[in-house]
């Protein structure tokens, strides 16, 4: 295609781009639809945070790729735990990759409280899934099931997959297991950032844990198109 043809089509292309942009952002007259902009604002906030704190971290195409990479880096001895099983998709990935016993915690009654608009209490309720032979389900609310489990399963935590969305649920995990999280422990968060309110849930609970435990971390990597991030405790 010649330059002349490109120039002749420019006004038409610009009209299409303007229309697409306006429809995407909900523009009306000289303003934009706030509800359309909220997720963009959350992503921009995340991008700024990543630029400051995780610019050199590895990028992964999917949460399953990140989980497998985290397991490859985890200590060979220690507990491998998932919090928030739902359909069992990620628990199966963990169990199939790790081979040794793994444990998945879930009430299967859905979220205990609203997470954010559109995600009310009870969302994600479902029947327990089938799991590989080396995966055991621990059913119940974390504050009730985890203390009993901890009493009968000694040892440090090698790998945590935190997929419970909420600040309160994530805080419970760190309150009960925090003293077992040691240098080398891998933690993969499923909803760490990149959504409206991300600084007030899994992210917040983790940074509170860092403050009281005096631990530090480095980024293992993250999924740039979604909300997952993995860290190594140091």
DSSP string, 160-223: EEE----HHHHHHHHHHHGGGEEEEEEEEESSSSSSTTGGGTHHHHHHHHHHHHT--EEEEEE-
pLDDT at 26 exceeding the cut of 70: no
**Tell me, what CATH number does 72's domain have?**
3.40.50.150
pLDDT of residue 10: 67
Average pLDDT value for residue range 135-161 = 97
* Dihedral, 217, 186, 48, 196 alpha carbons, nearest 10: -130
Structure tokens at 56: 């050199």
How confident is the model at residue 9, as a pLDDT? 63
Residue 193, in any domain of the structure: yes
Q: Which domain holds residue 108?
A: 58-233
- Domain assignment present for residue 43? The answer is no
Question: Are 180 and 217 members of one domain?
Answer: yes
Contacts of the segment 127-130: beta carbons below 8 A, 24+ positions apart: 128/85, 128/88, 129/85, 129/86, 129/87, 129/88, 129/91, 130/88
Q: Is the same domain home to 109 and 7?
A: no
Which has the minimum average pLDDT: 44-48, 119-123, 146-150, 207-211?
119-123
- Per-residue pLDDT, averaged over 46-63, amounts to 98
Residue 27 sits in the same domain as residue 86: no
pLDDT at position 17 over 90: no
67 and 24, same domain (yes or no): no
Q: How many domains, the chain?
A: 2
Same domain, 2 and 85: no
Mean of per-residue pLDDT scores for the chain: 92
Whether the pLDDT of residue 31 is over 90: the answer is no
pLDDT at 30: 72
């Amino acid at each position: 295609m010649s330059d002349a043809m490109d120039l002749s089509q420019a006004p038409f292309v610009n009209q299409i781009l303007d229309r697409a942009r306006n429809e995407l952002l909900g523009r009306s007259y000289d303003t934009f639809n706030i509800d359309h902009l909220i997720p963009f604002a959350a992503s921009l906030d995340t991008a700024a945070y990543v630029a400051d704190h995780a610019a050199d971290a590895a990028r992964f195409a999917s949460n399953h790729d990140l989980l497998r990479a985290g397991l490859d880096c985890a200590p060979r001895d220690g507990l491998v735990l998932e919090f928030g099983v739902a359909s069992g998709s990620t628990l199966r990935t963990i169990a199939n990759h790790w081979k040794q016993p793994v444990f998945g915690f879930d009430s299967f009654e859905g979220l205990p409280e609203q997470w954010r608009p559109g995600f009310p209490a009870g969302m994600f309720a479902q029947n327990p899934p089938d799991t590989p032979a080396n995966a055991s389900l621990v059913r119940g609310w974390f504050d009730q099931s985890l203390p009993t489990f901890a009493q009968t399963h000694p040892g440090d935590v090698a790998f945590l997959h935190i997929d419970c969305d909420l600040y309160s649920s994530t805080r419970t995990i760190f309150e009960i297991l925090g003293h077992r999280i040691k240098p080398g422990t891998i933690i993969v968060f499923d909803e760490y950032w990149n959504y409206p309110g991300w600084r007030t849930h899994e992210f917040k609970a983790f940074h509170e844990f860092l403050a009281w435990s005096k631990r530090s971390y480095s980024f293992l990597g993250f999924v740039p198109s979604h909300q997952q991030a993995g860290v190594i405790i140091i």
